[in-house]
A and B are shown apart, each in its own frame.
Chain A
Amino acid sequence: MRLPKAALLREVLSNLLRRPVTIEYPKVPIEPERGFRGRHVVDGNKCIGCRLCAVECPTGAIEMRKYPQKEKPVPVIHYDLCIFCYHCVYVCPVKAYITTGNRYMPTPDRGEMVGEPVFKSEGENIKVKY
């Protein structure tokens, strides 16, 4: 009955010699798992402006905004409202969303909390800011 106490003691002692399990976050970056739901933006060229994502967004974080490159309004994501459920990504009929694993949210500028759509010109690779 008294043995396991020593077993736990051994566990504790072995942990003393180990490196800390805690990740020292700002110094050491945390890599999200594959498929992590981070910041996402719309590929403006693919989007057909069907509004389905804006209508079904649970928090109403998607605004349809008019851009000169496009005839119909294109979704703009407000990250300060977004809950990252990725319902928009799932329902998009043309799979126009570009997803990233970026989980870094803090910012001194609220203007950065807006995900503007990305438009690419002919032959250009799509670049996402985040």
Chain B
Amino acid sequence: MSHVVEIPVGPQHPALHEPILFRLLVEGERIVRVVPSIGYNHRGIEKLAETNTFVKGLYICGRVCGICNIVHATTYTMAIERIQGVEVPPRARYLRVLVNELERIHSHMLIVAVMAEVLGFESLFMLIMRDREAVMQLKELVTGNRVLGDYLIFGGVRRDIDDAVAHRILRTLDHIEERVRYYRRVFEEDVTINKRLRGVGPISRAEAVRYCLVGPTARGSGVETDVRAEDPYEAYGELEFNVVTYPDGDSWSRMMVRIDEILESIEIIRQVLKRLPQGQAVPKTFKRALPKGEAIARAEAPRGELVYHVISDGKPTPYRVKIRTPSMANVINGIVAFKDAYIADAPAIIASFDPCISCMERVVEVVDLDKRKSTVVSLRELAGWRG
């Protein structure tokens, strides 16, 4: 008879510096079952959006997550514009793509760096973070703040860029591209990284589809899913880019998808700056009132598909703002990847999902996947669990 021991990982930074608890049930060194519990970071942000006006909601939604604030604002704005029936000028659509891709670059660079740190490769972590700083500065140059962009407004963007800024972006991206190609080679060929990541936490293509994984996590399993390509929003329909997929589905593939996506994003930004249409991007004023109606908007956040469902009942405040973030699907359902993994590999698997805990803290529902069957852990069990 084997003996199953439980090891709690978290809630104080399990791999990433964010609060989430993974209860690992281990048999010897093998993980037999994982139960994630979330809710340490719940801030009631959807309720907050309901009690504030639509315009204030734009800034609230921009603060759902620090790393992906622009894409949250973009998706919320898209939903509002659909209800209002507002047409966005072409230049503004291109500028939105520009800031979204800058955000994707720095978000992916962050997780690639954090993965290196999780593996104990701290010099690589420092090197990537050093280069990431240049992207943050570009974001500061374009939006006015290195983290919280607050760049969008209903019907356009709040600032325009000039030739000097465009030139600076291109020059910095040349440098970033060179560096990212170098890090790609390190991830591809370094012995330590290969030993720690290859074949660790495999998710098959069928599992990725069945458990509704999104974003780089699904693309790392060979599922060709990308909202930018499937349902082009803003100016993505007019730009050419590839959907990066890797067939293996292990942690290494998920990281390589992200590194390749940085290179794709750099290409997208170059196209944006080359084809940037002339005209007005900053609206002089914007519509504040919303008619009755509802809209669903989806966008490709750095971590996967982000969905906003905004319902307006004609009042100054929204009736409902439902946010569905990619980390929710990836972290909760992604525990299938822990099957038969070693305890020592758990941080690498967790980091390979690029979980954004502050993003996903909206629902308390935990799906617990056994080796063979899946069960739902009740709220009571979750709250009163003592082992």
- Residues of chain A whose beta carbon lies under 8 Å from any beta carbon of chain B: 1-5, 7-8, 11-12, 15, 21, 32-37, 56, 58, 83-87, 90
Tell me whether B159 and A58 are in contact (CB under 8 A).
no
Tell me whether B141 and A34 are in contact (CB under 8 A).
yes
CB neighbours (8 Å) of B186 from chain A are 4, 7-8
Tell me whether A33 and B189 are in contact (CB under 8 A).
no
Tell me whether A21 and B130 are in contact (CB under 8 A).
yes
Q: Is B140 an interface residue (CB 8 A)?
A: yes
23 A-B contact pairs sorted by A residue (CB < 8 Å): A1-B191, A2-B191, A3-B189, A4-B190, A7-B186, A8-B123, A8-B124, A8-B186, A11-B127, A11-B182, A21-B130, A36-B144, A37-B145, A56-B55, A56-B56, A58-B56, A58-B59, A83-B63, A83-B148, A85-B148, A86-B144, A86-B150, A90-B153
In the bound assembly, the distance between CA atoms of A90 and B150 in angstroms comes to 11
Secondary structure at the A interface, as helix, strand, loop or mixed, is loop
Our pick among B53, B55, B63, B159 for the contact of A35 (Cβ within 8 Å) is B159
Tell me whether B190 and A35 are in contact (CB under 8 A).
no
Total residue contacts A-B, CB cutoff 8 A: 60
Q: Is B52 an interface residue (CB 8 A)?
A: yes
Q: Is B271 an interface residue (CB 8 A)?
A: no
Closest residue of A by beta carbon distance from B138 = A33
Q: How large is the interface on B (under 10, 10 to 19, 20 to 34, 35 or more residues)?
A: 20 to 34
CB neighbours (8 Å) of A4 from chain B are 185-186, 189-190
In the bound assembly, the distance between CA atoms of A12 and B150 in angstroms comes to 37
Tell me whether B190 and A8 are in contact (CB under 8 A).
yes
In the bound assembly, the distance between CA atoms of A102 and B159 in angstroms comes to 19
Tell me whether B158 and A90 are in contact (CB under 8 A).
yes
Our pick among B60, B145, B158 for the contact of A58 (Cβ within 8 Å) is B60
CB neighbours (8 Å) of A7 from chain B are 185-186
Min CB distance B301 to A, Å, is: 20
CB neighbours (8 Å) of A84 from chain B are 145
CB neighbours (8 Å) of B59 from chain A are 58, 83, 85, 87
